[in-house]
Amino acid sequence: MQGKRILLGVTGGIAAYKSAELVRRLRERGADVQVVMTAAAREFIGPLTFQALSGRPVRTDLWDSAAEAAMGHIELARWAEAVLVAPATADFIARLAQGRADDLLATLCLASAAPIAVAPAMNRLMWANAATVANIEKLRVRGVQILGPAEGAQACGEVGEGRMLEPTELAERLEALLPATGPLRGRRVLITAGPTRERIDPVRFISNRSSGKMGFAVAQAAREAGAEVVLVSGPVALPTPPGVRRVDVETAEAMHAAVEAEVASADIFISTAAVADYRPAHPSGQKIKKTSERLQLEMERTIDVLASVAARPNRPFVVGFAAETESVEHNARAKLLRKNLDMIAANEVSHTKGFDCEDNHLIVLWREARRDLGAGPKIALARELVQLIANSYAEAHEAPGTVSA
């Protein structure tokens, strides 16, 4: 964060007192912080506090004649490398979702090309209200990062979801949103993660035990390495890594469609998803009743998302995953060759390994080489894997016409 220019918006919630600590945490990381306060925020905490902590005069008014003589709000919008609104009240979230420009902070958000993040803070019922839910979804679709909220005791005496994240966590998550330096800087990485669900009837489906944790760890590691990351995820209960754009899907067909919509502009494709190989050929439109001792399902093959990407003309660098229960390396290398991949990461899965665990054991294979990364936390393995991918990608592009490292 050294030297990064952060515009911190403070709106009128009781959590505004935490924003003073947030300024300190950002400054500790070397960031240059400009605070912009709404009128309501000034009812909770004074601008002088933020001026003392940031070393910059606080901006509060769209109609500041001195600042606006030089189009100050446009100047500020161009200055910012990231915009964080913390706390973000229900009112401000609604105005941002509507595209309002009725005060300085809202106007800056509209006028800035920098990444925007909001840290919601409000009563649990306000957070759960349908209007707030719809506004948050609008912002997500537009690429605004939603940081939090946390769950716990609230100033009103109630307990639930709606607390602003703590300043240290916000500083860490904001750092991940900033344009990064690293071996994948300037590269676009497309990743699939999680399981797919294939419908039997309206209430039942066929799936697998994939939690998506490995794929989400790879997405985080790729973002840390400087890449622009798009994550196509099956149904999982995991937060989106900061700075990553997420596309949610359910079926293998939907995952293929999402990948097809993104892959043309991808430099690297990493397939960690456990896509269903088969689906019911004739899913029932109504719930199947328990009327017989046996039920037979006719199954048909799903589309092979990984193979379809590897077979594209002008394809990206393609990395597959192989989750095996036996002959791990043998089966993984056969998959590498059969699907014409550039690299594959193999791991053994069973009732106690691989699936829905915090740890994993990866063996990485190329056409003529292997690297055993050993066992460890998935995020640590993901960082090692991403470094290998970055190295192999660079080598492949130094030698035109090669398809593997």
| Residue positions annotated with a catalytic role | 156
Measured CA to CA in angstroms, residue 81 lies from 5, 78, 178, 241, 361 at distances of 5, 8, 7, 19, 38
How many angstroms separate the CA atoms of 328 and 181, rounded? 35
Cβ–Cβ under 8 Å, residues 319 and 271 = yes
List Cβ neighbours of 384 (8 Å cut-off, separation of 6 or more).
362, 373
Residue 221 has phi, psi (to 5 degrees) of -65, -40
How many angstroms separate the CA atoms of 204 and 89, rounded? 39
Phi-psi region of 340 (alpha: psi -120 to 50; beta: other; left: phi over 0): left
Query: Nearest-CA neighbor of 228 among 271, 178, 264, 192?
Result: 178
Residue 198 has phi, psi (to 5 degrees) of -115, 120
Cβ–Cβ under 8 Å, residues 328 and 334 = no
Cβ–Cβ under 8 Å, residues 83 and 105 = no
How many angstroms separate the CA atoms of 112 and 122, rounded? 25
Task: Count CB neighbours of 200 within 10 A.
Answer: 18
Fill in the amino acid letter for 91.
D
Cβ–Cβ under 8 Å, residues 335 and 344 = yes
Fill in the amino acid letter for 326.
E
* Three-state secondary-structure class, residue 394: helix
Query: Nearest-CA neighbor of 385 among 306, 271, 308?
Result: 271
